[in-house]
Amino acid sequence: MAGGIFNPENGFYQVTGKMVDLFLLSVFWLLCCIPVVTIGPSTAALYNTVARCIRGSERNSWGMFFRTFRENLKVGILTTLVLLPAAVLLVLLQGLLYQTAVVGQAGYVLYVAYQIFLLLPLGALCYVFPVLSRFTFRTGGLLLNCSKLAMAHLPSTVGMGLLLALAIWVCSHMPVLAAILPALLALFHSFPLERIFRPYIRAQRAAEWEEESRE
């Protein structure tokens, strides 16, 4: 009986192992985000590892996390530096609109409308670093192609933006959940994103095989 429980192929053992990995990957992500400018490569590493090791069957999740982090460090930092000022501006605008919301009805309506609008940039942001983890882009091409994907898959974009906004709200009220929510959010986002990525990954592999056959 004990051998069955602790057998690596046992379903309970596998589920428990993945839960531990979700916790540890969230902690790795938090630690790697401390310099702030490394939020991008940290998020790329988190998504790639969750998609391939938690949802997929690949092993060595810790090694994959730090390998993906290193591979995307340069472009990830540059992209983060581009996105950070825009994020700060959106947050400041939200604060200003909140001040108007407590004054009168018109300000409240405007504030609610802005909250709904924020789902679009939040949803578009959800593409950026997962795309970076799977494809090779420079910062400009990365942001341009992610904008196109966000508009082409608008329902998924809004849904992912809503999940991100909910995760931010939950962590702001219960910070202890930040120890598990980043990896869980990446897991939930992987369902629409992997579906969206599938044809592009196939095309990329076909191009690589064609190039290898020519050599």
Q: What is the pLDDT along the chain (215 residues), one digit of tens a residue?
A: 444 444 555 566 677 888 999 999 999 999 999 999 999 999 999 999 999 999 988 888 999 999 999 999 999 999 999 999 999 999 999 889 888 887 888 888 998 999 999 999 999 999 999 999 999 999 999 999 999 999 999 999 999 999 999 999 999 999 999 999 999 999 999 999 999 999 998 888 787 787 767 66
Does a structural domain hold residue 72?
Answer: yes
- Domain that includes residue 74, residue range: 2-196
**Taking the model in full, what pTM does it have?**
0.89
Instruction: Please report how many Cα atoms fall inside a 13 Å half-sphere around the Cα of residue 53, on the Cβ side.
Output: 23
Does a structural domain hold residue 136?
Answer: yes
Does a structural domain hold residue 145?
Answer: yes
| Total domains, the chain | 1
Looking up tokens 């400009």 gives 140
Does a structural domain hold residue 34?
Answer: yes
Does a structural domain hold residue 16?
Answer: yes
Does a structural domain hold residue 213?
Answer: no
Distance CA 36, CA 46 (A): 15
Given this model, what pLDDT does residue 8 score? 53
**53: which DSSP letter?**
I
Question: What are the tokens at 20?
Answer: 């531990």
∠26-40-138 over CA atoms, to 5°?
145
Does a structural domain hold residue 10?
Answer: yes
Given this model, what pLDDT does residue 11 score? 62
